[in-house]
Amino acid sequence: MGHSHSHTHSHTHNHKDLKGRNLFITIFLNIIITLAQVIGGIISGSLSLLSDALHNFSDVLSLVISYIATKLSKRKASVNKTFGYKRAEIIAAFVNSSTLIIVSIILVKEAIERFVNPVEIESNLVIWLSLLGIIANGFSVLLIKKDAEVNMNMKSAYLHLFTDMMASVAVLIGGLLMKFYALYWVDPVLTILIAIYLVYMGYDLLKTSTRVLMLFTPNTIEIQQIVATITKIQSIKNVHHVHVWQLNENEVHLEAHIDFDEDINLSEFDKILEKIEEEVYHKFGISHLNIQPEYGKCDSKKVIVQD
């Protein structure tokens, strides 16, 4: 016998529509920045400007993925997609954080080559285009900052945009140093620093999204504590075969077998189930339950976790 229950409340349609609109605006801004920086990087000969353009291009792709994921996540479940597209935003966060790290490695390789063979750079173009990047990305960051605090997908988009803004600041500083002091080695050095920062920002999100996709137990939850909490409820003899996983950022699921002291009827089971729901929701944030009741069943009651 299974039972599922949810305490979570979904976001309003207005909020989701606004989230999608904000993402669309940031995509448009990033396409403009990317085109301007590619042209400017080629003309000026600045690797840091081209690396910023490459990063911006990865942003465009990541923002498009985030936008599609946001749209998909609103689709309802069906008979052949019983969870709907609730994991679309987690997949987007995984893809986006992966691209941050891949782009970083490419940037480091290019920067080392440029460091060995420095090139004179047209600094005025670098300065003006980096200013464009700071303004456009700064505006984009402000647009999605609120959503980034509660949504992993939006956080991945926010990180891309924020690191872009920081990269543009670094490129601006480099452009000024090249213009007034002819320090052209600053260009590859800044590129390497930008790349290191991207890896630092992307790794944590990659690790978090991977944990969710692999159905690992959330870091904040201890299985033994759940078992101890449920076992304290009257009539419950044992809790075993426990699985806890995170479906997305709003839903944590618990599945378990519960052995009862006596052969209770369904109405009694429902009352006990309500107690379990309240306990695990308020103590552990678990929003969905699937409980299999047992009495006198001959299976191992000592196995807490089993495939």
For the segment 104-161, what is each residue's pLDDT rounded down to a tens digit? 888 788 788 877 877 677 788 888 988 988 998 899 889 888 888 877 778 878 887 8
User: What's the CATH code of the domain at 289?
Assistant: 3.30.70.1350
Query: Looking at the predicted structure, is the pLDDT value of residue 4 above 60?
Result: no
Same domain, 130 and 242: no
Same domain, 51 and 179: yes
Lowest-pLDDT range, 35-49, 211-225, 246-260? 35-49
Average pLDDT over residues 57-79: 80
**pTM, to two decimals:** 0.72
Closest by alpha carbon to 2, among 262, 243, 218? 243
pLDDT for residue 290: 94
Q: Is residue 6 part of a domain?
A: no
Same domain, 204 and 234: no
Residue 193 structural domain: 13-213
| CA-to-CA dists, residue 22 to 100, 143, 157, angstroms | 21, 6, 11
Phi, psi angles (nearest 5°) of residue 211: -60, -40
Same domain, 200 and 238: no
Query: Looking at the predicted structure, is the pLDDT value of residue 258 above 90?
Result: yes
CB 139 within 8 A of CB 32: no
Same domain, 159 and 245: no
Lowest-pLDDT range, 84-98, 114-128, 169-183, 282-296? 114-128
Token pair listed for 61: 């792709």
SS3 state of residue 4: coil
Q: How far apart are CA 47 and CA 7, in angstroms?
A: 51
Task: Say which residues have a Cβ less than 8 Å from residue 91's Cβ, sequence separation at least 6.
Answer: 69, 209, 213
Which amino acid, one-letter code, is at 156? S
Same domain, 199 and 289: no
Task: Find tokens 């003006």 and name the residue.
Answer: 128
Q: Is residue 2 part of a domain?
A: no
Q: How far apart are CA 107 and CA 129, in angstroms?
A: 19
Task: Say which residues have a Cβ less than 8 Å from residue 82's Cβ, sequence separation at least 6.
Answer: none
Q: Is residue 194 part of a domain?
A: yes
3-state helix, strand, coil in the chain (%, to 5): 65, 10, 25
pLDDT band at 54; cut points 50, 70, 90: confident
198-222 tens-digit pLDDT? 788 788 889 989 999 999 999 889 9
Same domain, 27 and 165: yes
Q: Is residue 283 part of a domain?
A: yes
Q: Is residue 114 part of a domain?
A: yes
pLDDT band at 305; cut points 50, 70, 90: low
CB 122 within 8 A of CB 178: no
User: What's the CATH code of the domain at 46?
Assistant: 1.20.1510.10
Q: Is 84 left (phi over 0), alpha (psi -120 to 50) or beta?
A: left
Higher-confidence position of 236 and 72: 236
pLDDT band at 268; cut points 50, 70, 90: very high
pLDDT band at 2; cut points 50, 70, 90: low
Higher-confidence position of 261 and 4: 261
Count the domains in the chain: 2
Average pLDDT over residues 245-263: 90
Token pair listed for 170: 């670094």
Average pLDDT over residues 256-272: 92
Average pLDDT over residues 32-53: 80
pLDDT for residue 10: 42
pLDDT for residue 210: 93
Q: How far apart are CA 275 and CA 282, in angstroms?
A: 11
pLDDT for residue 3: 56
Closest by alpha carbon to 63, among 21, 26, 16? 26
End-to-end Cα distance, the chain? 19
CB 140 within 8 A of CB 29: yes
Closest by alpha carbon to 161, among 22, 12, 21, 5? 22
Token pair listed for 197: 């920062």
